Amino acid sequence: MSTADSFQQHVLPTYARFPLAPVRGAGCRLWDENGKSHLDFCTGIAVCSLGHCHPRLVEAIREQAGNLLHCSNLYQIPQQAELAEEINTHHVKLPGKVFFSNSGAEANDGLIKAARRFGHHRPQADGSPRFEVITFQQSFHGRTLGSMSATGQAKIQQGFDPLLPGFRYLPFNDTVAIEAGIHPETAAVLLEPVQGEGGVHVATPEFLRAVAAVCKKHDLLLFFDEVQAGFGRCGDAMAWRMIAPEIQPDGISWAKGMGGGVPIGAFWLADRAIDEAGSALASLMGPGSHGSTYGGNPLVCAASLAVLREIREKELAAHALLMEVRIRETIRSWASPVITGVRGSGLLLGVGLDAALIAPADGKTAALVVVEKLMDKGLLVPAAGPETIRLLPPLNVTAAEIDEALEILRGVIGEF
Ligand SMILES: *Cc1c(COP(=O)(O)O)cnc(C)c1O
């Protein structure tokens, strides 16, 4: 049975999959089951930050697999402690504490639970708990019931109601709406500093500062979803620092690029006092409040440590900024009417497309038409909404690989 037939017969059809079956990867390249080589600027959707099968990551996994794969969070896991220290000291660079999950959605669920606990600890004037989390239109926070309810896109939620109550979706980058959108039951604000799935939209510094000011004024927790944008992807260890470096968030979620391909996510809570008695935010999530059997096991933590240390030691965030400039300058030099602009930060970039010039048919979006043509020519990229394709190469991509990918893109764009 072919892979496609086997899928059809045995796998739930939740994904609209392309007819491509990858079997091997190295760096920026991916080979399919027919032996065709592809330049991979999708990287498992910003997951393989070091490219495929980076030797340091492979070696860390091999070594850990030979020592201990899994034990339990009933015990102290040295790799987990080491990874949390790496994250706090070298990436967040603010005092705080980490919980390890297996995905981005679960990391956001953890932040939502922390907001609820905070709302109990700091209730409304009448003593009833605060519970609402403000999120934003076109956001994406995941597919679990909690993170899906947080997501400000109707298409993600359709047919799954009743949703988890307690979310309000405000327009992104609207400083007036955020001030007016706070209610007595509001406990937190959750946002992507760079919206990824929703079309690659970067928060403006004015907006981030307005949100931070509103949080301070109304005693709300400020959470950043850096699941896609974090750990070097946007040109700094943390994406919000590219926009408004002085802001100190209360919580952050990560996943995707932090494991380089192993399933790991995490959320972080700041070590800050949340009441007059000086109780720490982290104390709201005490023993028994949250858990995950796999979360932060020795294997994934050893892998993530290798990834984060490589990103830091090789200064891959700074490299991402250089490559961003190369991409922007090259695309600008084409002066193509098909391309409406390049948005994003570092190597989380969206190329906007003029749908009228692409004139998609058969119910396809302009982005899908371009993604399929690029795939045919050997370049893999994901779409982000109907009129944007994303460029998400590994953070260690070379200038020559960027040039090769852009040459393919130029050829495809030239067809319209
Ligand atoms: C991908 C993504 C998620 C969900 O992560 P999963 O690992 O798929 O659960 C959440 N937030 C953002 C910003 C994402 O890009």
Distance 45 CA to ligand 1 centre (A): 10
Q: Which of 15, 254, 256, 345 to mutate to test the pocket of ligand 1 (most atoms within 8 A of CB)?
A: 256
Distance 398 CA to ligand 1 centre (A): 26
**Ligand 1 pocket residue status of 228, Cβ below 6 Å:** yes
Which atom of ligand 1 is found nearest the CA of 106? 9
Is 392:51 a contact under the CB 8 Å cutoff? no
Secondary structure (H, E, C), 168-213: EEECCCCHHHHHHCCCCCEEEEEECCEECCCCCEECCHHHHHHHHH
User: What integer pLDDT is reported at residue 154 of this predicted model?
Assistant: 96
Closest residue to atom 11 of ligand 1, CA basis: 141
Ligand 1 pocket mutation, candidates 141, 226, 294, criterion most atoms within 8 A of CB:
141
What is the H or E stretch that residue 298 is in? helix 298-313
Tokens 């764009």 belong to residue = 413
In this prediction, residue 118 has a pLDDT band, given cuts at 50, 70 and 90, of very high
Q: 160 CA to middle of ligand 1, Å?
A: 18
Mean pLDDT of the chain: 97
Instruction: Give the pLDDT confidence score for residue 292 in this predicted structure.
Output: 98
List the beta bridge partners of residue 222.
189
Kindly state if the Cβ of 105 falls inside 6 Å of ligand 1: yes
In sequence order, the β-bridge partners of residue 168 are 134
Q: Are 326 and 299 in contact (CB under 8 A)?
A: no
Longest dimension (CA), the chain: 66
334-372, pLDDT tens digit by residue? 999 999 999 999 999 999 999 999 999 999 999 999 999
Instruction: Determine the residue of 49, 111, 172, 197 to mutate for testing ligand 1's pocket, defined as the one with the most ligand atoms within 8 A of the Cβ atom.
Output: 197
Secondary structure element (H or E) that encloses residue 358, with its range: helix 355-358
pLDDT class of 230 with cuts at 50, 70, 90: very high
pLDDT at 169: 98
**Are residues 199 and 349 in contact, defined by beta-carbon separation less than 8 angstroms?**
no
DSSP characters over 270-284:
E--B-STT--BGGGG
Q: Are 390 and 200 in contact (CB under 8 A)?
A: yes
Q: Is 227 in the pocket of ligand 1 (CB under 6 A)?
A: yes
Q: Which residue minimizes the CA distance to atom 5 of ligand 1?
A: 104
Query: Which domains are assigned to the chain?
Result: 3-53+315-414 (3.90.1150.10), 58-313 (3.40.640.10)
Task: Determine the Cα angle at 223 with ends 218 and 229, to 5°.
Answer: 150
Is the torsion defined by CA of 388, 389, 394, 397 positive or negative? negative
* Cβ 225 under 6 angstroms from ligand 1: yes
Q: What is the pLDDT of residues 137-176, one digit of tens each?
A: 999 999 999 999 999 999 999 999 999 999 999 999 999 9
105 alpha carbon – ligand 1 mean position (Å): 6
pLDDT (tens digit, 9 = 90+) per residue, 176-215? 999 999 999 999 999 999 999 999 999 999 999 999 999 9
The whole-angstrom distance between residue 333's C-alpha and the CA centroid of its chain comes to 30
Residue 324 corresponds to which amino acid? Answer: E
Question: Residue 71 pLDDT > 90, yes or no?
Answer: yes
Cβ(104) – ligand 1 distance below 6 Å: yes
Q: In this predicted model, what pLDDT tens digit does every residue of 295-342 receive, in sequence order?
A: 999 999 999 999 999 999 999 999 999 999 999 999 999 999 999 999
Residue pLDDT, tens place only, 173-187: 999 999 999 999 999
For residue 82, give both structure tokens: 């080491």
Cα 146 to Cα 112: distance, rounded to the nearest angstrom: 8
Q: Between the CA of residue 130 and those of 124, 135, 252, 275, 416, what are the distances in Å?
A: 6, 15, 20, 15, 52
- The length of the chain is 416
**Is the pLDDT confidence value at 53 over 90?**
yes
- Residue 336 CA to ligand 1 center (angstroms) comes to 32
d(C-alpha 357, C-alpha 261), whole Å: 37
Whether 142 lines ligand 1, by a CB cut-off of 6 Å, is: yes
For residue 144, which atom of ligand 1 is closest to its CA?
9
pLDDT for res 104: 98
Contact of 100 with 295, CB cutoff 8 Å: yes
Q: What is the separation of C-alpha 350 from the centre of its chain, rounded to a whole number of angstroms?
A: 14
Burial readout 270-302 (b: 16 or more C-beta within 10 A, e: otherwise):
beeebeeeeebbbbbbeeeebebebbbbbbbbb
**Is the CB of 103 inside a 6 Å radius of any atom of ligand 1?**
yes
Residue 254 Cα to ligand 1 middle (Å): 8
Q: What is the pLDDT of residue 1?
A: 82
Kindly tell me if the per-residue pLDDT of 61 is higher than 90.
yes
Rounded CA-CA distance 338/101 in Å is: 41
- pLDDT for residue 3: 87
Q: Please give the distance, rounded to the nearest whole angstrom, from the Cα atom of residue 145 to the centre of ligand 1.
A: 13
Sorted by sequence, the CB contacts under 8 Å of residue 302 that are 6+ apart come out as 60, 61, 63, 64, 79
Q: Is the pLDDT of residue 276 over 90?
A: yes
Q: Is 351 in the pocket of ligand 1 (CB under 6 A)?
A: no
Task: Say which residue the tokens 């043509």 belong to.
Answer: 373
Could you read off the pLDDT of 9-19 as tens digits, one per residue?
A: 999 999 999 99
pLDDT exceeds 90 at position 2? no
Q: Within 13 Å and on the Cβ side, how many CA atoms surround 107? A: 31
Q: Which is it for strands 29-32 and 37-40: parallel, antiparallel or unpaired?
A: antiparallel
State the pLDDT at residue 272.
Answer: 94
Report the pLDDT averaged over residues 109-133. Answer: 98
| Residue 228 CA to ligand 1 centre (angstroms) | 6
Q: pTM above 0.85?
A: yes
Q: How many CA atoms within 13 Å lie on the side-chain side of 354?
A: 11
